[in-house]
Structure 1
Amino acid sequence: MTQHTKDPEDRQAYLASVGTALPGEPVDNATLAKVLGINEEWVEVFIGTKTRHFARDLGTGTVRWSLADLCAQAAERALAAPGVDPSAIDFIILGTATPDTLMPATVNHVADQLGLDQVPTFQLQSGCAGAVQALSLARTMIASDQYRTGLVIGGDVCTKHLDLQRDLSGAAPGDLVNFVLFGDGAGAAVITDEPVGQRVAIRTVLNRFTGLGRDPGQVIEWFGLADRYDDRQALTEDYKAIEESVPVMAVEILWELLGELDWTPEDLDYLLPPQLSGRMTRRITEQLDVPTAQEVSCVADTGNNGNALPFLQIEKLLGQMSGGEKALAVAIESSKWIKAGFALEKI
């Protein structure tokens, strides 16, 4: 940890680099439909996702990459970027809903693979908002004036919760959606207190629980030895509640972030909408209604890989962003309803 002194008014966090990792070759709808015994056209129309990546072999179910493997790959790419010094990392934060084990924390396996020692590590257990929560914590730590450079990671291996050998020919759409919606992947970003590398300022981060009194939109069970014979599904989802609530919440987040920054919709050059599925993302983007901003989406090609998504979007954004341009990202976690988002500006 590097001690330094900076006027509190001048403290700002910057995104210096991003790296991502997707396991294996993309799996298209035709291949997935054949393996699962389902209708390919239904996947394309109802979900709107064209391809996704799996850490497990579709034929055998063998795990080819762990979450730690994918997170380490993404982090290595972020740390190898121009203007980034790997030896300067002061802390590591991982956001995930699908850790490899309850203990040890996956973040510590990632640190081990990266050869990083004697640094604080944090693991946040969360769904689609986890990456934003990790970014928020990193920004707070940088602003505390005790840390200068941090590594923020988000990733999920969702397929380990799905029985790919199950006969789905008679499954209801609400059950079937989980087998075609999700993918696996990871992303990482180096966050600094000075504008280096990509030189993108993190202007604000939103992270707020808003699920008081509401039923969860999604539940992922963790089956221990005592309940491994339970007949509950590992993953359940109220897709109708998500369809109804997420677009409304997205609009609320957009205007809250704009108000906090004193920006107008016309100030935005890029919009990073929630990445639920190809179909849902199109619907949400239409309701956000920011025609002057260019949409930055990836879910139709990567599948919904949870906490990897914001980094995949940012990586795509950085390939287009020029000095002075502004971007706003909206993220929503439907498990117990969390509003999240962040704003970026290229210096």
Structure 2
Amino acid sequence: MTRTDAVRPTAHLAAIGTALPGAPVDNARLGRLLGVSEEWIDIFVGTRARHFAWDLETGEVRRTLVDLCAEAGARALESAGLDAADIEFLVLSTATPDTLLPTSATQVADRLGLDHLPVYQLQAGCSGAVQALDLGRALLAGGAGAGLVLGGDLTARHLDVRRDPARMPTEELVNYVLFGDGAGAAVLTAEPLGERLAVRGVLNSFAGLGRPAGQTVDWYGISDRHVERPLLTEDYKAIEERVPVLAAEVFWELLDRVGWSTADVDHLLPPQLSERMTARVVEHLALPGLDEVSCVGDTGNTGNALPFLQLERLLPRIAPGRRALAVTVESSKWIKTGFALEKV
């Protein structure tokens, strides 16, 4: 266990809430829209369905990030049996805020009736939910009793169904079948409450020194909004090579941090880039017997929402005294994150 984890009081996950917009979009429907086969989608990502906050035919945005995060946050609060007066901070992580200002975090706080409390917004990808959890732990250590951490992402700004798919290069087209929209939230408490999942350790480590980015999420301003460049790019070769290696590093570093052996872990929440990448990571770890908790096959890659969606699936499966270890890897500039949980 690191000195930071040793001196920081244990935080607890009391409840989880999630929000997925609309009905699931399966590969058959998405394939017809994009002019590709279901087999092509399966070969590239293996994901079966995803949800979109925009209309699949027109591109009209029907739900915003604030809508989804507020819905997830309200569900988490209700599940924990708490109301707005009990919450002492809010942390939201996203790569796709509705606006730069006001922040989506403050908009969500307003929707939930929260006032006169610290509100933070983190700009991050797949590692963001863990970064939010890490910041939440620090705020609890500073004396707060309960807080709300959230994460979510939308694809509306980066995927345009009005474009001709035949003109898109494969590395851009694959983003339309890889990603989905969603949000998640967790009530974090200083004392055991509700689900009583103790956070035994958190890993949050930048690992990209000198390495080219594996993913770039761009944005346009008023001076360059007509420039022809993709808003979302991925180096899939680098991701396929690096993510399994970094995921294994997270797993073993977390075990060392909390003083556990592999025999002490019952559930594994692996990275959720895609169904096929998750299978590759689990195979690389070579740890048979762990209960794998995954969601990406049914939700698509929802970025910051993914760990919350996995936690929601973990809750009915983890018994008192059992332990879970979550691993996330952000390929943007290579960030290793994860956390260790124990049901108390």
TM-score band, normalised by the shorter chain?
Answer: over 0.9
Alignment of 1:161-240 (within 5 A): 161-240=158-237
Secondary structure of 2:312's aligned partner: helix
Residue 113 of structure 2 is aligned to residue 98 of structure 1: no
Aligned to 1:67: 65
Question: Pairwise CA RMSD of aligned residues?
Answer: 1.2
How many angstroms does 1:229 deviate by? 1.1
With normalisation by structure 1, the TM-score equals 0.95
- Give the letter aligned to residue 25 of structure 1: A
- Mapped contact 2:268–2:324 kept (Cα < 8 A): yes
Residue 29 of structure 2 is aligned to residue 31 of structure 1: yes
Residue 343 of structure 2 is aligned to residue 338 of structure 1: no
Give 4+ residue runs of structure 1 displaced > 4 Å after superposition.
Answer: none
Aligned to 2:15: 17
Aligned to 1:324: 321
Whole-Å separation in 1 of the counterparts to 2:128 and 2:8: 27
Aligned to 1:140: 138
Whole-Å separation in 2 of the counterparts to 1:193 and 1:71: 23
How many angstroms does 1:119 deviate by? 1.2
Aligned to 2:3: none
How many angstroms does 1:187 deviate by? 0.2
Whole-Å separation in 1 of the counterparts to 2:40 and 2:133: 36
List per-residue Cα deviations over 1:50-75 (Å, max 9, x = no partner): 00000000011110000000000000
List per-residue Cα deviations over 1:241-268 (Å, max 9, x = no partner): 1011000100111000011111111111
- Mapped contact 1:84–1:196 kept (Cα < 8 A): no
- Mapped contact 1:217–1:241 kept (Cα < 8 A): yes
Aligned to 2:286: 289
Whole-Å separation in 2 of the counterparts to 1:292 and 1:41: 30
Whole-Å separation in 1 of the counterparts to 2:251 and 2:325: 8
- The more displaced of 60-69 and 38-47 is 38-47
Secondary structure of 1:284's aligned partner: helix
Aligned to 2:43: 45
Identity over aligned pairs, percent: 58
- Mapped contact 1:16–1:83 kept (Cα < 8 A): no
List per-residue Cα deviations over 1:264-308 (Å, max 9, x = no partner): 111111000000001111111111122121000000000000000
Aligned to 2:238: 241
- Mapped contact 1:94–1:107 kept (Cα < 8 A): yes
Residue 287 of structure 2 is aligned to residue 271 of structure 1: no
Whole-Å separation in 2 of the counterparts to 1:165 and 1:40: 20
- Mapped contact 2:84–2:112 kept (Cα < 8 A): no
Whole-Å separation in 1 of the counterparts to 2:84 and 2:312: 19
Whole-Å separation in 1 of the counterparts to 2:148 and 2:295: 22
Aligned to 1:314: 311
List per-residue Cα deviations over 1:113-136 (Å, max 9, x = no partner): 111111110000000001110000
- Count of aligned pairs: 339
Consecutive unaligned residues in structure 2, runs of 5 or more: 1-5
Secondary structure of 2:168's aligned partner: coil
Consecutive unaligned residues in structure 1, runs of 5 or more: 1-7
How many angstroms does 1:10 deviate by? 7.8
- The more displaced of 268-277 and 205-214 is 205-214
How many angstroms does 1:39 deviate by? 2.1
- Give the letter aligned to residue 311 of structure 1: F
- Give the letter aligned to residue 132 of structure 2: A
Whole-Å separation in 1 of the counterparts to 2:7 and 2:44: 49
- Give the letter aligned to residue 341 of structure 1: G
How many angstroms does 1:159 deviate by? 3.2
How many angstroms does 1:9 deviate by? 5.6
Aligned to 1:129: 127
List per-residue Cα deviations over 1:103-150 (Å, max 9, x = no partner): 110001101111111111000000000111000000111112x21101
Whole-Å separation in 1 of the counterparts to 2:293 and 2:8: 30
- The more displaced of 152-161 and 58-67 is 152-161
- Mapped contact 2:80–2:187 kept (Cα < 8 A): no
Whole-Å separation in 2 of the counterparts to 1:10 and 1:56: 42
Whole-Å separation in 2 of the counterparts to 1:10 and 1:306: 28
Residue 52 of structure 2 is aligned to residue 54 of structure 1: yes
- Mapped contact 2:94–2:153 kept (Cα < 8 A): yes
Aligned to 1:114: 112
Whole-Å separation in 2 of the counterparts to 1:259 and 1:158: 37
Secondary structure of 2:166's aligned partner: coil
- Give the letter aligned to residue 259 of structure 1: D
Secondary structure of 2:188's aligned partner: strand
